[in-house]
Structure 1
Amino acid sequence: MDEHSLLGLGLSALHRDGYLLLPGVLEARQVDQLQAAISALTPMHWDYNGLLEQYKCVFNRDPLWLTFLDLPGVIELAEAALGEDCHLIGQTAWRSHPGYQGMPLHLDYLVMALPPALLADPAFELPMQICTVQFYLDDIDAELSPTRVLPGSHRAGRKPAPGEQQWQGQQVQSILCRAGDALMFRSELWHGGSDNRSADRSRSMLQVHYGRRMVAQKFSPYLHWHFNPAVLAAATPRQRRLLGEHAEAEYD
C-alpha cells in the first residue's frame, strides 16, 4: 500500500474512532536513547517527580529531542490532519512508577460545543484542531499503566461525567502495545491513564502535541520563555517551523 493510501486510512481512523495505534514507529536504539534521556532529566518550573515524573518542554533542553518532533510516518499524518503549517504546542516526558494511580477519563480540549444532532450525523466530519502522539518506551501490558480510550467519544461534544465509562454502546479499551509503538489521538477523545500495578516496573513515555497554526503555542514559563540557541542551531527547516518559525500570514 502506498504512502497516500496509508495516510488516508490513518485520517479515517482519527475521524471514525478518534485515535490510531502506529506500530514500530521507534527503533530499538531510539527507545534506549529516550529512556536514557528521561533518566537524565531534572525538574524545572512546573515539572514534578515522585510516583509520576513529568518534564515539560523537553524539546528545548537538548537537540536530541528534535528528532522526535517529525518522525517519518507520524509528522505526515499530523500535517494531513492539521495542515502543513501545523506546529508544536508541547513535548513532555513521563515516567510512571509502581503504585502510581492513573488519571480518570477526560478530554484534553473541546474546541466548541456543537449540536448533538450535527455530531450524530455520519455525514458530518468534525475537523481536528489538536492531536497528541504518545511514544511508548516499554512493552505495555495490563499491569503497566496502559492508556485507556473510548472509541468514537470525540463526537460526544462534551467531557465525560465522573465515573462515565461508555458512550453510544462503546466500552473503554486499554491500549496494549510494544516499546516503540505510538498512539495518536485527537484532543476531544475521552482517554485516561490507569494504575501501575506492577511490582517493579516503570512506564516511560514521550508525548508530543501538535496544533493547527492558529492554536497558540503555550511554552512555560511563558513570559520568561526563551529558545535554547543550541536547539535552534540544530533544527531543520521543518523542525523550525514546528517550533514556530512560520511564513507571514494574516495575523502576524
Structure 2
Amino acid sequence: MSLDLQLQSLDEQGYVLLPAVLEPLRIALLRCAIDDLQPIHWDYQGLLEHYKCVFNRDPLWLPFLDLPAPIALAEAALGADCHVIGQTAWRSHPGYPGMALHLDHLPMQLPDWLSERGDFVQPAQILTAQLYLSDIDQDIGPTWIVPGSHRAGRPPLPGEDQWQGRQALPVLCQAGDALVFRSDVWHSGGANNSQARVRDMLQVHYGRRMVAQKFSPYLNWRFNPQVLEAATPRQRRLLGEHAETEYD
C-alpha cells in the first residue's frame, strides 16, 4: 500500500495495517528482550506485563523507534518534526481478560450536532504503532477497532461497541506486522483465551512536535547516556532533540 493510501486509511478508518515491518530475527530478539525486562515505577507484571519507556533501558530498543514504514507514515501524518512520546512493551498471558473499548487521547470533544454528522475529522495529534511479535488470531486476543470512530469526537459510552452502525472488528495478522492507529479511534485489547501462548507486542507512540513528552518517572527522569551515545540524529530528534522554536 502506498503512503498516500495509508494516509487515506488513517483519515477515513482511523487505522492502517502495515505488513512485515519486522523480520523473524528481530521478532525473536525483541521477545527475548521482553523476557529480561523488570518493572520500574508504573510498570507491572501478572497476566498482563507492561513496561514503559523501554527505549531508555538499552540501545537495543532504539532501532524500533524509526522502522522505515511506521516512521514514514508518522512523519507524513504528524510532521517531519514529530517525536516519540512513549515506547512500551506488552506481554499478555493465557487467562488475561482483555481491555474494554476505549480511546487513548481525545484532542477535543466535538459537540453532538457535529459528531452525529460523521463527516468531520480532527487532524491527528498522536499515532500508536503496535508491532506484533506473535501471530494474532482470535484465541490469543487481537486488537479490536471500530472503523471511523475517530470521527465521533468523543469516547465510547459504557457498553457501546459500534458507531454509526460500524461494529468493532478484530485485527488478525502475522508476527512482524504493525497496526498504526490514531489516539482518538475506539479500540480494545482482546482476551488471551489460548492454552499456552503469550501475546507479545511493542508499541511506539508518536506525537506532533507540540505534544509534550511525558516520560515516567517524570521529575526523576534521566536519559540513559549509553542510549544517547548510540542514537542516530533522527532517533535523537525523536527523543526530543529539536530545533529551537518560539516556545523553547
TM above 0.5, yes or no, is yes
Task: Check the 8 A contact 2:145/2:185 in 1, yes or no.
Answer: yes
Q: Which residue type is aligned with residue 76 of structure 1?
A: A
Offset, 1:211: 0.3
User: Aligned pair 1:91/2:91, yes or no?
Assistant: no
| SS of corresponding position for 2:3 | helix
Equivalent residue number for residue 146 of structure 2 = 150
Distance between the aligned counterparts of 2:104 and 2:173, measured in 1? 22
Match of 1:100 among 77, 96, 100: 96
User: Aligned pair 1:24/2:24, yes or no?
Assistant: no
Structure 2 length-normalised TM: 0.97
Task: Quote the sequence identity (%).
Answer: 68
Task: Check the 8 A contact 2:110/2:152 in 1, yes or no.
Answer: no
Structure 1 length-normalised TM: 0.96
Distance between the aligned counterparts of 2:228 and 2:187, measured in 1? 33
Equivalent residue number for residue 34 of structure 1 = 30
Offset, 1:202: 0.5
Match of 1:198 among 181, 184, 194: 194
Number of residues paired by the alignment? 247
Q: Which runs of 5+ in 1 are unaligned?
A: none
| SS of corresponding position for 1:91 | strand
User: Aligned pair 1:222/2:218, yes or no?
Assistant: yes
Distance between the aligned counterparts of 1:161 and 1:113, measured in 2? 13
| SS of corresponding position for 2:28 | helix
Q: CA, structure 1 residues 125+159, in 2 after alignment: closer, same or farther (shift >3 Å)?
A: closer
Distance between the aligned counterparts of 1:117 and 1:22, measured in 2? 34
Distance between the aligned counterparts of 2:154 and 2:118, measured in 1? 16
Moved over 2 A (4+): 114-122
Q: Which residue type is aligned with residue 139 of structure 1?
A: D
Q: Which runs of 5+ in 2 are unaligned?
A: none
Match of 2:50 among 31, 51, 54: 54
Deviation track 1:156-189 (CA, whole Å, cap 9, x = no partner) reads 1110011111111101100111000000000000
Distance between the aligned counterparts of 1:65 and 1:192, measured in 2? 25
Distance between the aligned counterparts of 2:112 and 2:235, measured in 1? 38
Distance between the aligned counterparts of 1:33 and 1:208, measured in 2? 17
Distance between the aligned counterparts of 1:68 and 1:102, measured in 2? 25
Distance between the aligned counterparts of 1:117 and 1:73, measured in 2? 37
Equivalent residue number for residue 213 of structure 1 = 209
| SS of corresponding position for 1:104 | strand
Task: Check the 8 A contact 2:121/2:151 in 1, yes or no.
Answer: no
